[in-house]
Structure 1
Amino acid sequence: TCSFTVTVVDAEAPAITCLSNITVNNDAGMCDAVITYAAPVGTDNCAGATTALFSGLGSGATFPIGTTTETYEVTDAAANATSCSFTVTVVDAEAPVITCPSDISSCNPVVNYAAPVGADNCAGATTTMTAGLGDGATFPIGTTTETYEVTDSSGNTTSCSFTVTINALPTVTLATFSPDTICDTDPVVALPVGTPALGTYSGNGVTGANFDPALAGIGTHYVYYNYTDSNTCSSSDSTMIVVVSCVGFNENNYLTGISVFPNPANNLININLGETNAVFNFTLTSIDGKVVYQAKNSTDKITAIDISNFSKGIYFLKVTNESDYKVFKVIKQ
């Protein structure tokens, strides 16, 4: 007898066909996507072939942004194996978000604000200023547009803008008191004109639309005028007035028929003695008691005194004859 063996070798590899490549957008608000697909199953000429995920994440997994390769392998009973691959790409299609501050209106050119910072569904977003001057800068009069842009790690961008408007301060002026020196016993005087109109006055001695020297007291005082415009921008100006004690310089009426004009005056004051034929003496004294002009034995009906070079303020003119006198308060403008 004799024997021999017949060996049949399974030399036929199994077959497997993968899916086409998959591309999807990220899940809303997420930096990934949950993807389910029909996993490929291999076939073979013989029973007993098995298919397994060789590399990748598998159907139903959470795939990150980017491309992941899925590889499946089928192995038959004779250990023949065949594999196939496909890619799963998750695209970050979600733009980043950014919110700018509201428009800013200011009277101060130095403006501070909280610079906006963008956010994204994925880490790594950066925010930059693409136009404007930035937080804490000194802005010019007018309107400047500030623009910020956020860029995510996938190159998606979003921008926002707001304006910074700097309003010019109003031009405020306050006229000077004329005269700017008065007696503590003088009546109230009207406050000088402030522009623009409808501003407010403040300061020692200010009462309503007047300055009261008795209320202010002896000394140097400042009156302030403040104006606020429709943009709520404010400016102010000030002027000075001096209140002095005039005790001993009170005017009297012992002499009649005598007049001094003009009063207040800029250049000349005229003393009109009327119809009298008496001889008169004239003494002009500053508020601090210094004699600045003197004339004696005058019989002129009208005497002119040049005060053009005198400082602005209050002077006292004493007119005397052999038996009486009269004191005039003269204001040099």
Structure 2
Amino acid sequence: MKYIFTLLLVMAVTLVNGQILNETFDDSAGFTTSSPFFSDGGFDYFGLAIVNDYNGGDIPSGLKEYTGFDGGFLTGMDLDAEGEAIPFVVTWTGLDISGATDLSFTGQFAEFFDDPGDIDAADYIRVEYQIDGGGYQNLIAFEGADFTSGSSNGNFREDTNFDGEGDGTILTGAAQAFVKAIAGTGNTMDLRMTISLDSGDEDFAVDSFMINDGTGGTDTIPPTLTCPANMSMDNDAGLCEAVITFNNATATDNSDPNPVVTQTEGPMSGEAFPVGVTTVTFMATDQSGNSSTCSFTVTVNDVESPSIDCQDQNIILENSQMYAVPNYVGDGIISVTDNCSDSLTILQIPTQGTVVGGGVTEIIIRATDSNGNMFECSFNLNVDNTLNVEENTLNIISMYPNPATDRVTISSEVEHVEIYTITGRVVLKTKQNSFNVRSLPSGIYLVRITTETGSVVKRLIIE
């Protein structure tokens, strides 16, 4: 007898502390609508998104990019555009609430904001309930507000006092959960949602309608939230970042079958993550307001080496002079770039200041970035110190004016002309016999003139 009593007690607790309604909108089996689902394939539609139930109509191209919904959700836009009568009414009838004394409603609502808003004063979303056929009572409502043009171009806000004017929380394209207490007791409950939207871009989306019985006590247990595993990826080519995709965290709860999961920290999936370690955090909240968080890290590794623009260097000196090797990178003669680092470690062999004579010397440049990626290249330093100024069979060629401040002209047709600093660095190349030296600093330069019959080196003074 004691066993039977215990079993009955457990059954009673299960009944009164259970879930009366769990509408996930993954199908239309649990509710009725005043107008059938439809879609014109564009911006007039009413049906279940994600599961794509539009009563045979095409998936609408005007479906808004809502976020935060899990699975299918009920949505619509411009509800009377195909000749249907508004408002539309969605109804759940005969819900068993026998023995329940502490009922609550939870639902997710969204309206995608376009700039400016599209909601007018005549638009609304209203949810009501009745117990044992005693007449419908207000539960939650959203009305137009924040109008930018008379009574048009506004937003949906919660109508906290049911006076027909939105004055509370604003709806956006992200699903928001609202929890409302249900007054009264009885045996059966009817729930209905009434929607009126009659113009283009006037939209709505709802999901996770639940009626819960909290008679057994207050739920204080937060959801169990599971994040993806830590991720590690290489950088995208040429960039100091990588585009990363990942799954949302998943949540389970002792009383809420659909806790709301939102990302609270870090770039979204499909966005760029910088090189280094980035933390991504999710939060899950159940209908009782209990929440929990979890995090994972995304590590983007820089695996790209620096790039060095190695080019052979040709130097001309007069009178068999020796040549001091410059700091090729520091002096801007050789360029080094990297996808990430502003700070590069440069090694040059032979080092700056090493004196070399005429002939060919191999120069090695090695660049290492802050992430340890290294690149090395080599080039030839060709030093010509065998020609003396104007000691050449072509010394009859003249160059004027000299000294010069602006344009210099050579008295013969040329194949090419190279101007060197006194230390042997090329500062100008041209194939014209008349050229401008205005951009060069004042000083003494060597000019190698090459014609079809040979070459000659002349000294040029720039004032």
TM-score (norm 1): 0.45
Q: TM-score, normalised by structure 2?
A: 0.33
